[in-house]
Structures are given as C-alpha cells and as structure tokens.
Structure 1
Amino acid sequence: MVYYKYREWNDYTKKLLETNEFWFSSPKHFNDPFDCQIRINRDDINETLAIDFLSQSYAKSKDEKSHFYNRAYSNFDECKGDLEEVCDFLRERIRDFEEYFDDKGILSLSANPKSLLMWGHYGQNHKGISIGLADTSGAFLADSRFSNDVNYQSEYPKITARDIVMAKSSEDWDVFVDLIFHTKSSEWSYEKERRVVMSKGDKLYKTPCVITEVIFGARCDKSTEQEIRDLLHGSDVRFRKALLKTQSFDMVIVDV
C-alpha cells in the first residue's frame, strides 16, 4: 500500500526530498478545531471518584476494598477535607494527561492520490506534488504501534475524567491517545487519512518508510518537474503526473 503526502513545492519540500525528513506536527496546530482535542469534564472529579481512586491504589484484595469503602462512607463527613485534597491531585493528573497528549507528533498521509480537494488545499492548487510512501515490511507505516488509519464518525469519542485518573500507567493512557488521534468527523472522510504518531511533536523525523513515487500536480509547471527529477536523479523514485479528465470531475495518474 502507498500513502501520499500532498505538498506545495517550496524550500521545505525540497529539503524533505533531499534529507528524507518529515515534519511531525503537534495536534494543537491542526486546522480542524475538533481534531485531537480532548474535552474532559472536570466536574466529574468528586469525592466518590476520589474514594474509588484511593481504593484502587491501596486496597489489594476484594475484602480490603470492601472494608475501605465501608470506612470511607461511614466517616464521609470527617474525610471530606482529605478527599478534597485527593480531588486536587486528580485534577493535576488530568493536566498531566493533557500535557502527555499535547506532546505527541503526527504525520498525516492519505490513501487517495486523486482527491481534487486535497490537491487544492494542500497541493498548492494543483501546482505542487504528492509524495508516495510505501508501507513495506519493517516501516513505521506498517507498524500498528505507530501508524493507523483514521476512523470517521459523527459522534465525538467520549473519554471521561474517571477513565483518565483510574488508568494505571501511561501505557493505558496511550489507548485513549490512540482513540482521539484516529477519530475524526465524517465530513473529513474524503481524505482517507493514515497517521504516523511519534512521542514528540513539532520536530523533524527521518521518513517513516521508503519514498517510492512523486506525483506532479495537474498545474505543476515543467521547470518544477525537471528540478525534482534532477534532485532525485539516480534514485528508484517513480515519477507520475495528475491529468484532469475532460468530461468528468476526476483525474487520472499516469507515468511520465
């Protein structure tokens, strides 16, 4: 399978092809205000959740948990001040998760090399290029720990304060990060997006797989095409061209 990165032709894209380095953006820079945004209701942090958290943390057996709950609720008024301190700790835990979440870096690709919208939005009004990356064995694109397809749906993924604070490790948090990072509104389904997620965002990483092809946009001029050919001379990269159909809102991709 080949996935594509639509790009305008500029100094950054030229350097990308020269160095095989891609920019992994922090989700806070995305153009969709819902994309990768967590909405956790802090009002759900209360004394009941604090008791459940303490029970999970310190009561080892079923009998110990039962004894813990009996003591906590029979002396609830006396414990209220202490429980509020635990609630403050849980709010801090939510902030830790948000920072852990915001630190991630994402490379967005597409399975569709013929999207008129993406050529217009990300491919310099069809004057740019689309870079093809193959998910060959051993590549990040083929490793589900780093890369997965985006799911499109009408409902926003629901993650509660309880989910976050009761998680036992950052590995458990990764389940929630994966859910949020790979769920978008159905209105974006035309992108057929594939994402590669790394631990830190807003930095360059070596390409997660082999660059197998470059598609020139329908309006890409000959001088740009030649510059790219010269830049990649001697490589195994395949060169292709997007051509607009004359009788339909569509295009074909041909070898050139």
Structure 2
Amino acid sequence: MGRLEALVKLGAHFFAHPSSFNDPFECRPQFQYDFSKSRTLSHIDNRIRQFHPQASPAKRLLVKAQARRVFGQPRYVENIVNKVVENIGVLCCVERPDNLLMWAHYADAHKGVCLEFDTSEWLFRLAGKVSYSQTYPIVDTANQSPSLLADTMFLTKSAEWAYEQEWRIVSQPGLSSLDPTVQALVDALIGPGVHHMPLHLLRRIIFGVNASPENIALVRRWVREANLSVSFARCEIVPGEFRLIVVNQK
C-alpha cells in the first residue's frame, strides 16, 4: 500500500527494472550481426568515419577487419545491449480493467486496485504496445532501426502472455516528445525507480472484488487529503458468468 499512497499523494510512479519481472525471458533477445547484408558493412564504415575521421585507407581497412571479428561475436553485441538495459525502467499498463487474470496475478488476488489514467497526456503518448510472438526475438544492431531494436528488446513477449494486453512506457536516455513544452519532463525520465508525474493524470480508482472495507476507506482518505478530482468504482462478479463488470461508485 505504500507505493499506492505515494502515487496518489505525490504522483510517484514506479518504473521497474526488467530484472524484477516475473518472466525470465524479458529483454533477453538473441543477438546477431549479419555481415551478408550490405547495411551491416555500411554501419561499420559509418562508425569508422565517426571515430577515426583522419584514418588512412589502410588504417580503415585494418579497423574494419577488427570490427568484423569483434562484432561477429554475439557475446560482444550482447554485452553492449545489456549495458543499455541496465539504465532503463518500465511502467507497465494494461488496456482493460476487467481482466480476470490481471486482477488475480497483479492485484493481490482481487484485493487491490486498478488505477485508470488520462492517456491523452504526454506521459502516455510515450507508451508502446507490447507484441506477443510465437518466435523468439532477434536483435540485429546493424540492420534494425533504433525504434525497431527498442521494440524488439522491450516490447516483445511470448504469445502465452497475450491475455495481458500490455502497454509499456520505457524510461531511457534519448526519449523525445512531440510537445516541446514537456520535453524537460521527458528528459528527466531516465532509469528504473520512482519518477514523479502530475497528480491530475490519475482519473479513476477501481477496487477489486475482494478489497476490504478498511483498505477502501484508506484509499478514499488519501484522495481527499491530496485534494484530487478522482472517481471511484468497484469490480463486481457477473452472476452465472466468468466475467467482471466495473461499477462506478460515489
């Protein structure tokens, strides 16, 4: 309940590091560097010009040969990408507030809450939809665009997780916003841990079927103390069906 109180009162959103996820395959794609593709060789040439602009033709050939040996080792490429992963955090969201398994797995067996946010705001415009795949993701650092590489690493999961209908906001260096007025906020969104967001992003709090009266009263008190304009609802079981409905409350 401590994180929930901090979110309601302070706008403290927790971005988890992938190492804490319950799926051991998270952010662990296969790596390759395919020298049969011209784009790979072009990628090496561009890097040589960038880091050795004054090199002679002979020096460039030597560096290219060394690069092919080094980048041809999957472990080398994997180590580079792993350093990127060390500095990212992930805020995980879902589309539906009535998903039975999400309540069971992530809301303390329907005792917790679901938080509904205004997704038109800048933070949620950074969100990417998770893709669910039958095949294992492959990262090719030279032949994938930066956006596709990020999607492959951070937004790809096994098809067995498709029921989650997940969206993710990945906090990492280099994020950009289409709205320059919030770019400073985006620039601060780096790494795992707590990131503070405007309180008005929270629009509705939905209590689970098994939420206790004590916890419901406590959350409502936090909202009053923070002077938030937030509505409340509660999930209810549909009689005779394996289904929940969300019923608004006063």
1:80-229 to 2 correspondences below 5 Å: 83-84=65-66, 87-88=69-70, 92=76, 94-136=78-120, 138-141=121-124, 143=125, 146-160=126-140, 162-163=142-143, 172-199=145-172, 200-207=190-197, 210-229=201-220
Structure 1 distance, partners of 2:143, 2:40, is 13
Q: % of aligned pairs identical?
A: 23
Shift of 1:221: 0.9
Contact 2:141/2:149 (8 A) holds in 1: no
Contact 1:94 1:161 in 2 (8 A): no
| Equivalent residue number for residue 253 of structure 1 | 246
Distance 2:197 2:43 in 1: 42
Q: d(CA) in 1 for partners of 2:80 and 2:43?
A: 16
Contact 2:39 2:143 in 1 (8 A): no
In 2, Cα distance between equivalents of 1:189 and 1:49: 33
State the AA in 2 paired with 1:205. Answer: H
> SS in structure 1 opposite 2:132?
strand
Cα deviation for residue 39 of structure 1 reads 1.9
Q: 1:45 to 1:104 in 2, by over 3 A?
A: farther
Distance 1:50 1:252 in 2: 52
Structure 2, unmatched stretches of 5+, are 50-56, 173-189
Q: What is the 5 A alignment of 1:4-19?
A: 10-19=1-10
Deviation at 1:128, TM superposition (A): 0.7
Which secondary structure does the structure 1 equivalent of 2:139 belong to? coil
Distance 1:34 1:231, change over 3 A: same
Using the size of structure 1 for normalisation, the TM-score is 0.73
Question: What is the CA–CA distance in structure 1 between the aligned matches of 2:71 and 2:32, rounded to whole Å?
Answer: 15
Q: Write out per-residue CA displacement over residues 107-136 of structure 1, whole angstroms, 9 at most, x where no aligned residue.
A: 000011111111111101111111111212
Q: State the match for 2:235 in structure 1.
A: 242
Structure 2 CA distance for aligned equivalents of residues 157 and 89 of structure 1: 19
User: Structure 1 residues 26, 217: CA separation in 2 closer, same or farther (over 3 Å shift)?
Assistant: same
C-alpha contact (below 8 Å) 1:212/1:236 kept by paired residues: yes
Aligned-partner residue type, residue 29 of structure 1: S
Using a 3 Å threshold, how does the CA distance of structure 1 residues 19 and 250 change in structure 2: closer, same or farther?
Answer: same
Alpha-carbon distance in 2 for matches of 1:185, 1:99 = 23
Q: Quick one: distance in 2 between partners of 1:90 and 1:174? A: 22
Q: 1:34 to 1:83 in 2, by over 3 A?
A: same
- Residue 246 (structure 1) shift: 2.1
Give the residue type in structure 2 aligned to 1:110.
V
Matched residue type, 1:213? R
Q: For structure 1, which runs of at least 5 residues remain unmatched after alignment?
A: 1-9, 60-67, 73-78, 165-171
Amino acid at match of 2:95: A
Structure number, greater radius of gyration: 1
Preserved CA contact (<8 Å) 1:45 1:162: no
Give the C-alpha shift of residue 82 in structure 1. Answer: 8.1
Matched residues in 1 for 2:192 and 2:45: separation?
Answer: 39
CA distance in 2, matches of 1:195, 1:55: 34
TM-score w.r.t. length of structure 2: 0.74
What corresponds to 2:223 in structure 1?
232
Cα deviation 1:194-223 (Å, max 9, x = unaligned): 111111332111237710000011010111
